[in-house]
Amino acid sequence: AQKVTQAQTEISVVEKEDVTLDCVYETRDTTYYLFWYKQPPSGELVFLIRRNSFDEQNEISGRYSWNFQKSTSSFNFTITASQVVDSAVYFCALTLPLISNFGNEKLTFGTGTRLTIIP
Amino acid sequence: GAVVSQHPSRVICKSGTSVKIECRSLDFQATTMFWYRQFPKKSLMLMATSNEGSKATYEQGVEKDKFLINHASLTLSTLTVTSAHPEDSSFYICSARSGTADTQYFGPGTRLTVL
């Protein structure tokens, strides 16, 4: 079975500070996908990124960056120069591909990290 | 692209009534849709997976007669909460995925309050 751990339940930082959200995952499968979703107070889950297990290259998108390290089974998310609009709950998730021999393509979510940016 | 809508966004009903929630993929064909339930300050709990034209697969502990799911077309799935009770009050979110894509796109959610 898959497991995703987000040890940070809540984080508060002052606006313009950098913040890193941790995500550690467990899976026996060698092929899998990792995701980050943002859930603002409105409730909708917004897709941020998908990363497959064979691509360890870090990714940057504006103020967002992701650090994928298979050696430590981590997929951490950093927000640079945080803004109040970044306040939300962030979920890390994992899924096996549809071709997996285990036949399980459900999303396994972490418990989420509530990020509050203080103006 | 990849927009998913849900209707209604909020619903308040009396105990014993049934409530239908619609989930639509607006710009892609969703071969698979998922229904989740989220309690306050908690993560998402998968309730069921539905594939177009076939019966939904429910997660353990989810009553299929209580939560009726229909996925009649490639763009629409419905969740009907039958004989709703106050303990069914929750935030219900659907997601959709097309073909063999591995990314689920989520709807905005429906907040159900049963009085």
Residue A92 sits at the chain B interface (C-beta within 8 Å): no
Indicate the SS3 state at residue B9: coil
Residue B81 sits at the chain A interface (C-beta within 8 Å): no
A60-100 pLDDT, tens digit per residue, is 999 999 999 999 999 999 999 999 999 999 999 999 876 54
A44-61 pLDDT, tens digit per residue, is 999 999 999 998 888 899
Structure letter (DSSP) for residue A63:
T
Tell me, what's the pLDDT at A104? Answer: 46
Which runs of E-coded beta strand occur in A1-119? Answer: 3-5, 10-14, 19-21, 24-26, 33-39, 46-52, 59-61, 64-69, 74-79, 88-95, 108-109, 113-118
DSSP codes of every residue in B29-63? --SEEEEEEE-TT--EEEEEEEETTS--EEPTT--
Among the partner-chain residues A35, A37, A43, the one whose CB lies closest to the CB of B91 is A43
**Position B101 pLDDT exceeds 90:** no
**Position B98 pLDDT exceeds 90:** no
**Position A102 pLDDT exceeds 50:** no
- What residues of B are in contact with residue A23 (Cβ under 8 Å)? none
- What residues of A are in contact with residue B105 (Cβ under 8 Å)? 47
CA distance A106 to chain B (A): 8
Residue B10 sits at the chain A interface (C-beta within 8 Å): no
pLDDT mean across residues, chain A: 91
Which residue, B98, B113, B102, B72, is CA-closest to B4?
Answer: B98
Tell me, what's the pLDDT at A64? Answer: 97
Q: How many residues does chain A have?
A: 119
Tally of CA atoms within 13 A in the half-sphere of A24 that contains its CB: 6
B6-23 pLDDT, tens digit per residue, is 999 999 999 999 999 999
* Band (B30; pLDDT cuts 50, 70, 90): confident
CA distance A68 to chain B (A): 18
| Residues 24 through 83 of chain A touching chain B, CB cutoff 8 Å | 33, 35, 37, 42-47, 50
Tell me, what's the pLDDT at B100? Answer: 65
